[in-house]
Amino acid sequence: MKWGLIGASNVASEHMVSAIRAQPGHEVVAVMSGNASRAQEFAKANSIAEFYDDVDRLLAQSKVDAVYVSSTNEKHCAQVIAAAAAGKHILCEKPLALTVEDAMAMRDACAQAGVVLGTNHHLRNAATIRKIRELVRSGAIGRPLCARVFHAVHLPPHLQGWRVDKPQAGGGVVLDITVHDADTLRFVLDAEPVEVVGMTQSTSMSENGVADGVMAVIRFDNGVMAQMHEAFTVRHAGTGIEIHGEIGSVIGRNVMTQRPVGEVVIRDALGEREVEVQHENLYVRSVAEFSAAVRGAGRPAATAEDGVMSLAVAAAVAEASRSGCTVRVMSPFK
Ligand code: NDP
Protein backbone atom coordinates (compact mmCIF):
# COMPACT_ATOMS: atom_id res chain seq x y z
CA MET A 1 0.00 0.00 0.00
CA LYS A 2 1.32 3.42 -0.95
CA TRP A 3 0.59 6.25 1.45
CA GLY A 4 0.39 10.01 1.12
CA LEU A 5 0.65 12.17 4.23
CA ILE A 6 -1.70 15.15 4.48
CA GLY A 7 -0.07 17.34 7.11
CA ALA A 8 3.62 17.78 7.87
CA SER A 9 3.04 17.16 11.55
CA ASN A 10 4.86 16.11 14.63
CA VAL A 11 2.72 12.99 15.18
CA ALA A 12 3.49 11.89 11.62
CA SER A 13 7.25 12.23 12.04
CA GLU A 14 7.40 10.92 15.62
CA HIS A 15 5.04 7.96 15.31
CA MET A 16 3.18 7.36 12.06
CA VAL A 17 5.84 7.33 9.34
CA SER A 18 7.68 4.52 11.15
CA ALA A 19 4.39 2.75 11.94
CA ILE A 20 3.47 2.73 8.24
CA ARG A 21 6.95 1.56 7.26
CA ALA A 22 6.72 -1.26 9.83
CA GLN A 23 3.95 -2.90 7.72
CA PRO A 24 5.24 -5.31 5.09
CA GLY A 25 4.78 -3.81 1.62
CA HIS A 26 3.77 -0.34 2.85
CA GLU A 27 5.53 2.81 1.65
CA VAL A 28 5.19 6.54 2.32
CA VAL A 29 5.45 8.06 -1.16
CA ALA A 30 4.41 11.70 -0.68
CA VAL A 31 3.73 14.41 1.87
CA MET A 32 1.59 17.52 1.58
CA SER A 33 1.88 20.68 3.68
CA GLY A 34 0.23 24.07 3.30
CA ASN A 35 3.70 25.53 3.07
CA ALA A 36 6.05 24.44 0.25
CA SER A 37 9.31 24.81 2.15
CA ARG A 38 7.93 22.92 5.18
CA ALA A 39 6.75 20.15 2.82
CA GLN A 40 10.22 19.95 1.31
CA GLU A 41 11.94 19.98 4.69
CA PHE A 42 9.60 17.27 6.05
CA ALA A 43 10.13 15.11 2.95
CA LYS A 44 13.89 15.39 3.28
CA ALA A 45 13.96 14.74 7.04
CA ASN A 46 11.74 11.66 6.64
CA SER A 47 13.18 10.33 3.34
CA ILE A 48 9.93 10.79 1.39
CA ALA A 49 10.35 11.09 -2.37
CA GLU A 50 7.60 13.57 -3.27
CA PHE A 51 6.21 16.66 -1.62
CA TYR A 52 3.30 18.98 -2.45
CA ASP A 53 1.86 22.22 -1.12
CA ASP A 54 -1.60 21.51 -2.50
CA VAL A 55 -3.87 18.70 -1.35
CA ASP A 56 -5.47 18.19 -4.77
CA ARG A 57 -2.07 17.60 -6.37
CA LEU A 58 -1.27 14.90 -3.83
CA LEU A 59 -4.71 13.34 -4.28
CA ALA A 60 -4.28 13.35 -8.09
CA GLN A 61 -1.40 10.86 -7.73
CA SER A 62 -2.88 7.53 -8.81
CA LYS A 63 -0.14 5.59 -7.03
CA VAL A 64 -1.40 6.85 -3.66
CA ASP A 65 -3.79 4.22 -2.22
CA ALA A 66 -4.31 5.70 1.23
CA VAL A 67 -3.75 8.94 3.07
CA TYR A 68 -2.97 9.72 6.69
CA VAL A 69 -4.50 13.07 7.69
CA SER A 70 -2.71 14.83 10.57
CA SER A 71 -3.17 18.49 9.77
CA THR A 72 -4.61 20.83 12.42
CA ASN A 73 -8.15 19.87 13.35
CA GLU A 74 -10.10 22.47 11.36
CA LYS A 75 -8.64 21.12 8.10
CA HIS A 76 -9.56 17.44 8.57
CA CYS A 77 -13.12 17.70 7.23
CA ALA A 78 -12.40 19.25 3.82
CA GLN A 79 -9.25 17.13 3.32
CA VAL A 80 -11.03 13.86 4.15
CA ILE A 81 -13.98 14.63 1.88
CA ALA A 82 -11.56 15.51 -0.96
CA ALA A 83 -9.59 12.29 -0.36
CA ALA A 84 -12.79 10.22 -0.42
CA ALA A 85 -13.79 11.84 -3.73
CA ALA A 86 -10.36 10.87 -5.09
CA GLY A 87 -10.96 7.24 -4.04
CA LYS A 88 -8.29 7.12 -1.32
CA HIS A 89 -8.67 5.18 1.93
CA ILE A 90 -8.19 7.46 4.92
CA LEU A 91 -6.76 7.15 8.39
CA CYS A 92 -7.62 10.48 10.03
CA GLU A 93 -6.39 11.95 13.27
CA LYS A 94 -8.72 12.77 16.11
CA PRO A 95 -10.81 14.79 16.55
CA LEU A 96 -12.30 13.89 13.17
CA ALA A 97 -13.59 17.48 12.88
CA LEU A 98 -14.67 20.46 14.95
CA THR A 99 -18.37 19.50 14.91
CA VAL A 100 -20.33 16.26 14.92
CA GLU A 101 -22.13 17.41 11.76
CA ASP A 102 -18.82 17.74 9.89
CA ALA A 103 -17.63 14.37 11.20
CA MET A 104 -20.87 12.78 9.95
CA ALA A 105 -20.36 14.41 6.53
CA MET A 106 -16.87 12.84 6.42
CA ARG A 107 -18.20 9.44 7.44
CA ASP A 108 -20.99 9.63 4.84
CA ALA A 109 -18.63 10.81 2.06
CA CYS A 110 -16.32 7.85 2.71
CA ALA A 111 -19.21 5.38 2.84
CA GLN A 112 -20.58 6.70 -0.47
CA ALA A 113 -17.13 6.57 -2.11
CA GLY A 114 -16.59 3.01 -0.83
CA VAL A 115 -13.35 3.90 0.96
CA VAL A 116 -12.33 3.02 4.52
CA LEU A 117 -12.24 5.84 7.09
CA GLY A 118 -10.48 5.10 10.37
CA THR A 119 -9.95 7.37 13.38
CA ASN A 120 -6.50 7.29 14.94
CA HIS A 121 -7.54 6.78 18.57
CA HIS A 122 -4.28 5.12 19.52
CA LEU A 123 -5.26 4.02 23.05
CA ARG A 124 -7.51 1.22 21.75
CA ASN A 125 -4.32 -0.30 20.40
CA ALA A 126 -2.50 -0.34 23.74
CA ALA A 127 -1.99 -3.85 25.09
CA THR A 128 -2.84 -2.52 28.57
CA ILE A 129 -6.18 -1.02 27.51
CA ARG A 130 -7.04 -4.14 25.51
CA LYS A 131 -6.28 -6.29 28.55
CA ILE A 132 -8.49 -4.10 30.75
CA ARG A 133 -11.31 -4.47 28.23
CA GLU A 134 -10.84 -8.24 28.15
CA LEU A 135 -10.96 -8.42 31.97
CA VAL A 136 -14.13 -6.33 32.17
CA ARG A 137 -15.82 -8.40 29.44
CA SER A 138 -14.83 -11.68 31.09
CA GLY A 139 -16.57 -10.69 34.33
CA ALA A 140 -13.33 -10.53 36.35
CA ILE A 141 -14.62 -7.50 38.33
CA GLY A 142 -18.31 -8.36 38.15
CA ARG A 143 -20.81 -5.80 36.90
CA PRO A 144 -18.97 -2.50 36.28
CA LEU A 145 -20.33 0.36 38.38
CA CYS A 146 -18.01 3.31 37.88
CA ALA A 147 -14.73 4.37 36.31
CA ARG A 148 -12.04 7.03 36.62
CA VAL A 149 -9.58 8.27 34.00
CA PHE A 150 -6.48 10.25 34.95
CA HIS A 151 -5.06 11.95 31.87
CA ALA A 152 -3.58 15.23 33.12
CA VAL A 153 -0.18 15.72 31.55
CA HIS A 154 2.27 18.52 30.81
CA LEU A 155 2.45 19.44 27.12
CA PRO A 156 6.07 19.75 26.03
CA PRO A 157 6.86 23.12 24.38
CA HIS A 158 7.01 21.71 20.82
CA LEU A 159 3.40 20.48 21.16
CA GLN A 160 1.96 23.68 22.60
CA GLY A 161 1.48 25.96 19.52
CA TRP A 162 -2.07 25.94 18.10
CA ARG A 163 -3.26 23.56 20.83
CA VAL A 164 -3.06 26.24 23.50
CA ASP A 165 -3.99 29.46 21.68
CA LYS A 166 -5.99 28.76 18.50
CA PRO A 167 -9.65 27.90 19.14
CA GLN A 168 -10.29 28.23 15.38
CA ALA A 169 -7.80 25.38 14.72
CA GLY A 170 -9.57 23.16 17.25
CA GLY A 171 -7.13 23.89 20.06
CA GLY A 172 -7.88 23.06 23.68
CA VAL A 173 -7.73 20.05 25.93
CA VAL A 174 -11.29 18.86 25.25
CA LEU A 175 -10.76 18.25 21.52
CA ASP A 176 -7.22 17.06 22.18
CA ILE A 177 -7.47 14.62 25.10
CA THR A 178 -11.11 14.26 26.20
CA VAL A 179 -11.89 12.64 22.83
CA HIS A 180 -9.28 9.94 23.53
CA ASP A 181 -10.62 9.23 27.00
CA ALA A 182 -14.23 9.14 25.81
CA ASP A 183 -13.21 6.66 23.13
CA THR A 184 -11.23 4.54 25.59
CA LEU A 185 -14.16 4.37 28.01
CA ARG A 186 -16.60 3.38 25.23
CA PHE A 187 -14.13 0.69 24.18
CA VAL A 188 -13.42 -0.71 27.64
CA LEU A 189 -17.01 -0.56 28.91
CA ASP A 190 -18.70 -1.58 25.67
CA ALA A 191 -21.29 1.07 26.41
CA GLU A 192 -22.58 4.30 24.90
CA PRO A 193 -22.44 7.71 26.61
CA VAL A 194 -25.81 9.22 27.49
CA GLU A 195 -25.14 12.49 29.34
CA VAL A 196 -22.30 14.54 30.81
CA VAL A 197 -21.48 17.27 33.28
CA GLY A 198 -18.17 19.10 33.13
CA MET A 199 -16.09 22.15 33.88
CA THR A 200 -13.06 23.50 32.08
CA GLN A 201 -10.29 25.80 33.27
CA SER A 202 -7.80 28.07 31.48
CA THR A 203 -4.79 28.41 33.73
CA SER A 204 -1.10 28.80 33.03
CA MET A 205 -0.71 27.60 29.45
CA SER A 206 -3.66 28.65 27.34
CA GLU A 207 -4.73 31.89 25.68
CA ASN A 208 -7.73 33.20 23.76
CA GLY A 209 -10.25 31.32 25.88
CA VAL A 210 -8.75 27.90 25.12
CA ALA A 211 -9.18 25.36 27.95
CA ASP A 212 -6.05 23.71 29.34
CA GLY A 213 -7.81 21.60 31.98
CA VAL A 214 -11.16 19.80 32.22
CA MET A 215 -12.99 17.54 34.63
CA ALA A 216 -16.12 15.76 33.46
CA VAL A 217 -18.46 12.93 34.39
CA ILE A 218 -20.16 10.74 31.78
CA ARG A 219 -23.17 8.53 32.46
CA PHE A 220 -23.23 5.50 30.16
CA ASP A 221 -26.25 3.53 28.94
CA ASN A 222 -25.29 0.55 31.14
CA GLY A 223 -25.51 2.76 34.24
CA VAL A 224 -21.74 3.21 34.68
CA MET A 225 -20.60 6.68 35.74
CA ALA A 226 -17.09 7.67 34.62
CA GLN A 227 -15.04 10.57 35.87
CA MET A 228 -12.33 12.06 33.60
CA HIS A 229 -9.58 14.57 34.25
CA GLU A 230 -7.55 15.91 31.32
CA ALA A 231 -5.02 18.74 31.37
CA PHE A 232 -2.04 20.19 29.51
CA THR A 233 -0.53 21.79 32.60
CA VAL A 234 0.10 19.09 35.20
CA ARG A 235 3.67 17.83 35.47
CA HIS A 236 3.63 14.99 37.97
CA ALA A 237 0.16 13.48 38.26
CA GLY A 238 0.83 10.29 36.31
CA THR A 239 -1.90 8.74 34.16
CA GLY A 240 -4.28 5.85 34.63
CA ILE A 241 -7.69 4.30 34.32
CA GLU A 242 -9.72 2.43 36.93
CA ILE A 243 -12.85 0.37 36.38
CA HIS A 244 -14.65 -0.57 39.59
CA GLY A 245 -17.07 -3.48 39.57
CA GLU A 246 -19.28 -5.29 42.07
CA ILE A 247 -16.60 -7.84 42.99
CA GLY A 248 -13.33 -6.16 42.06
CA SER A 249 -11.44 -3.34 40.43
CA VAL A 250 -9.13 -3.32 37.41
CA ILE A 251 -6.53 -0.60 37.46
CA GLY A 252 -4.22 0.56 34.66
CA ARG A 253 -1.26 2.65 35.83
CA ASN A 254 0.73 4.84 33.44
CA VAL A 255 -1.41 3.60 30.55
CA MET A 256 -2.93 6.78 29.06
CA THR A 257 0.12 7.37 26.92
CA GLN A 258 1.49 7.01 23.41
CA ARG A 259 4.16 4.55 24.52
CA PRO A 260 3.84 0.77 25.03
CA VAL A 261 4.29 0.96 28.81
CA GLY A 262 2.31 0.72 32.03
CA GLU A 263 0.83 -2.01 34.19
CA VAL A 264 -2.54 -3.58 34.82
CA VAL A 265 -3.61 -4.89 38.22
CA ILE A 266 -6.71 -6.54 39.59
CA ARG A 267 -7.77 -5.84 43.16
CA ASP A 268 -10.47 -7.95 44.85
CA ALA A 269 -11.14 -10.09 47.93
CA LEU A 270 -7.92 -12.01 47.20
CA GLY A 271 -5.81 -8.82 47.28
CA GLU A 272 -3.93 -7.08 44.46
CA ARG A 273 -2.09 -8.86 41.66
CA GLU A 274 -0.50 -7.75 38.42
CA VAL A 275 -1.90 -9.09 35.14
CA GLU A 276 0.60 -9.97 32.43
CA VAL A 277 0.54 -7.76 29.33
CA GLN A 278 2.51 -8.19 26.08
CA HIS A 279 3.30 -4.60 25.15
CA GLU A 280 3.31 -3.59 21.48
CA ASN A 281 3.66 -0.33 19.53
CA LEU A 282 0.23 1.34 19.52
CA TYR A 283 0.63 3.08 16.18
CA VAL A 284 1.97 0.01 14.37
CA ARG A 285 -1.12 -1.85 15.52
CA SER A 286 -3.37 1.01 14.42
CA VAL A 287 -1.96 0.95 10.88
CA ALA A 288 -2.10 -2.86 10.76
CA GLU A 289 -5.81 -2.89 11.68
CA PHE A 290 -6.53 -0.11 9.19
CA SER A 291 -4.76 -1.88 6.34
CA ALA A 292 -6.57 -5.14 7.16
CA ALA A 293 -9.82 -3.19 6.84
CA VAL A 294 -8.71 -1.88 3.44
CA ARG A 295 -8.07 -5.51 2.38
CA GLY A 296 -11.61 -6.33 3.50
CA ALA A 297 -10.42 -8.31 6.52
CA GLY A 298 -11.88 -6.45 9.48
CA ARG A 299 -12.44 -2.90 10.63
CA PRO A 300 -10.10 -0.10 11.69
CA ALA A 301 -9.32 -0.26 15.43
CA ALA A 302 -11.43 2.90 15.75
CA THR A 303 -13.97 3.39 12.97
CA ALA A 304 -15.45 6.59 11.57
CA GLU A 305 -18.44 6.02 13.87
CA ASP A 306 -16.10 5.76 16.88
CA GLY A 307 -14.57 9.09 15.85
CA VAL A 308 -18.03 10.66 15.57
CA MET A 309 -19.00 9.40 19.04
CA SER A 310 -15.83 10.58 20.79
CA LEU A 311 -16.41 13.99 19.24
CA ALA A 312 -20.06 13.93 20.37
CA VAL A 313 -18.85 13.44 23.96
CA ALA A 314 -16.32 16.26 23.61
CA ALA A 315 -19.02 18.57 22.22
CA ALA A 316 -21.29 17.70 25.14
CA VAL A 317 -18.48 18.31 27.68
CA ALA A 318 -17.73 21.70 26.12
CA GLU A 319 -21.42 22.63 26.18
CA ALA A 320 -21.80 21.43 29.80
CA SER A 321 -18.85 23.59 30.77
CA ARG A 322 -20.31 26.65 29.00
CA SER A 323 -23.83 26.22 30.34
CA GLY A 324 -23.25 24.71 33.77
CA CYS A 325 -25.95 22.15 32.92
CA THR A 326 -26.11 18.41 32.37
CA VAL A 327 -25.91 17.87 28.59
CA ARG A 328 -27.16 14.87 26.63
CA VAL A 329 -24.66 13.30 24.23
CA MET A 330 -26.25 13.64 20.80
CA SER A 331 -25.57 10.36 19.04
CA PRO A 332 -26.41 10.52 15.33
CA PHE A 333 -26.65 6.71 15.30
CA LYS A 334 -29.77 6.35 17.45
P1 NDP B 1 1.69 19.76 14.52
O2 NDP B 1 1.55 21.10 15.13
O3 NDP B 1 3.01 19.09 14.59
O4 NDP B 1 1.24 19.79 13.00
C5 NDP B 1 -0.05 20.19 12.60
C6 NDP B 1 0.05 21.10 11.42
O7 NDP B 1 0.70 22.30 11.82
C8 NDP B 1 0.91 20.51 10.32
O9 NDP B 1 0.11 19.74 9.49
C10 NDP B 1 1.49 21.76 9.66
O11 NDP B 1 0.61 22.26 8.68
C12 NDP B 1 1.52 22.78 10.77
N13 NDP B 1 2.91 22.94 11.25
C14 NDP B 1 3.75 21.98 11.66
N15 NDP B 1 4.93 22.50 12.02
C16 NDP B 1 4.83 23.82 11.82
C17 NDP B 1 5.72 24.91 11.97
N18 NDP B 1 6.95 24.72 12.42
N19 NDP B 1 5.27 26.14 11.66
C20 NDP B 1 4.00 26.33 11.22
N21 NDP B 1 3.13 25.33 11.04
C22 NDP B 1 3.54 24.11 11.32
O23 NDP B 1 0.52 18.88 15.14
P24 NDP B 1 0.49 17.49 15.86
O25 NDP B 1 1.32 16.47 15.23
O26 NDP B 1 0.70 17.72 17.29
O27 NDP B 1 -1.07 17.12 15.64
C28 NDP B 1 -1.56 16.90 14.33
C29 NDP B 1 -2.89 16.16 14.40
O30 NDP B 1 -2.69 14.92 15.01
C31 NDP B 1 -3.98 16.84 15.24
O32 NDP B 1 -5.23 16.55 14.68
C33 NDP B 1 -3.86 16.16 16.60
O34 NDP B 1 -5.07 16.20 17.32
C35 NDP B 1 -3.46 14.76 16.19
N36 NDP B 1 -2.64 14.04 17.16
C37 NDP B 1 -2.94 12.75 17.46
C38 NDP B 1 -2.17 11.99 18.27
C39 NDP B 1 -2.51 10.56 18.53
O40 NDP B 1 -1.79 9.92 19.27
N41 NDP B 1 -3.55 10.02 17.94
C42 NDP B 1 -0.96 12.54 18.90
C43 NDP B 1 -0.69 13.90 18.50
C44 NDP B 1 -1.49 14.60 17.64
P45 NDP B 1 0.84 21.86 7.16
O46 NDP B 1 0.35 20.49 7.04
O47 NDP B 1 0.04 22.83 6.39
O48 NDP B 1 2.32 21.96 6.98
Going by pLDDT thresholds of 50, 70 and 90, the confidence category of residue 183 is very high
Residues 59, 68 contacting (CB under 8 angstroms): no
Prediction pTM value: 0.97
Question: Which of 51, 70, 284 most suits a substitution to test ligand 1, by most atoms within 8 Å of the C-beta?
Answer: 70
- 2-120+285-301 and 123-280+311-328 in the same fold: no
- Nearest alpha carbon, ligand 1 atom 17: 38
Going by pLDDT thresholds of 50, 70 and 90, the confidence category of residue 120 is very high
Going by pLDDT thresholds of 50, 70 and 90, the confidence category of residue 298 is very high
Going by pLDDT thresholds of 50, 70 and 90, the confidence category of residue 102 is very high
Q: Is 296 helix (H, G, I), strand (E, B) or coil?
A: coil
What are 257-293's pLDDT values in tens digits? 999 999 999 999 999 999 999 999 999 999 999 999 9
CATH code reported for the domain at 2-120+285-301: 3.40.50.720
What are 54-68's pLDDT values in tens digits? 999 999 999 999 999
Closest residue by Cα to residue 184 from 215, 228, 237, 249: 228
Going by pLDDT thresholds of 50, 70 and 90, the confidence category of residue 207 is confident
Alpha-carbon gap, residue 278 to 182, rounded angstroms: 24
Mean pLDDT of the chain: 97
Distances (CA, A) of 51 to 8, 45, 87, 132, 149: 10, 12, 20, 41, 40
Alpha-carbon gap, residue 104 to 96, rounded angstroms: 9
Tell me 10's DSSP state.
Answer: H
Mean pLDDT confidence for 173-182: 98
Going by pLDDT thresholds of 50, 70 and 90, the confidence category of residue 206 is confident
Q: 123-280+311-328, superfamily in CATH?
A: Dihydrodipicolinate Reductase; domain 2 (3.30.360.10)
Q: What do you get for the CA distance between the two ends of the chain, in Å?
A: 35
70 Cα: distance to centroid of ligand 1 (angstroms) = 6
User: Residue 261, class by beta-carbon neighbours within 10 Å (0-12 exposed, 13-18 middle, 19+ buried)?
Assistant: middle
Sign of the torsion angle spanned by Cα atoms 70, 1, 82, 56: positive
34 Cα: distance to centroid of ligand 1 (angstroms) = 12
Q: Where are the domains of the chain?
A: 2-120+285-301, 123-280+311-328
Measured from the Cα of 161, ligand 1's closest atom is 2
Alpha-carbon gap, residue 74 to 87, rounded angstroms: 22
Going by pLDDT thresholds of 50, 70 and 90, the confidence category of residue 246 is very high
Residues 87, 63 contacting (CB under 8 angstroms): no
Ligand 1 site residues (CB inside 6 A) read 7-11, 33-35, 38, 70-73, 93-94, 120, 122, 159, 161, 176, 258
Alpha-carbon gap, residue 9 to 17, rounded angstroms: 10
133 Cα: distance to centroid of ligand 1 (angstroms) = 30
